[in-house]
């Protein structure tokens, strides 16, 4: 039951370039989407979220884009830094579910100096 899919298990980019992490979902009842970053031996850390009534949300170097008709969202990191190297999880929340999050499998981002 993969309601949230991250089809790229890994991504490698050069420092200073843009990182684009993609996520697809199947459940049209999802109305909030979140991105988390996870370093080894740590818990996931919240990065940015977006409501389904918006198509873009920006916070510093991080921008999330939502294409509701395509059920697709992406996280852009510009410029990428070596410290951004981590696993990035896309997660989705459905209204009325008491804030349960459904996660994707994650994408390992490696930013090379």
Partner 1 sequence: EPEVTQTPSHQVTQMGQEVILRCVPISNHLYFYWYRQILGQKVEFLVSFYNNEISEKSEIFDDQFSVERPDGSNFTLKIRSTKLEDSAMYFCASSEASGRIYGYTFGSGTRLTVV
Strand positions, DSSP E, the chain: 4-5, 10-14, 19-25, 30-38, 45-51, 56-59, 62-67, 72-77, 86-94, 101-103, 107-112
Contact between 98 and partner 1 per CB under 8 A? yes
Q: Name which of 49, 55, 86, 88 is nearest 71 in CA terms.
A: 55
Tell me which of 60, 70, 83, 99 binds partner 1, using CB under 8 A. Answer: 99
Contact between 36 and partner 1 per CB under 8 A? yes
Contact between 106 and partner 1 per CB under 8 A? yes
Tell me which of 8, 15, 22, 32 binds partner 1, using CB under 8 A. Answer: 32
Q: Which is nearer to partner 1, 2 or 67 (CB)?
A: 2
Contact between 53 and partner 1 per CB under 8 A? no
Contact between 42 and partner 1 per CB under 8 A? yes
């Amino acid at each position: 039951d993969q309601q949230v899919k991250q089809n790229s298990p890994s991504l490698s980019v050069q420092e200073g370039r843009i990182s684009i992490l993609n996520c697809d979902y199947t459940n049209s009842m999802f109305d909030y989407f979140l991105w988390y970053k996870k370093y080894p031996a740590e818990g996931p850390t919240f990065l940015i979220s977006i409501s389904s009534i918006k198509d873009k949300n920006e916070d510093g170097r991080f921008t999330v884009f939502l294409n509701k008709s395509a059920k697709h969202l992406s996280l852009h990191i510009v410029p990428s830094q070596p410290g951004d190297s981590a696993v990035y999880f896309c997660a989705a929340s459905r209204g009325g579910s008491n804030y349960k999050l459904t996660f994707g499998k994650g994408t390992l981002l490696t930013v090379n100096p």
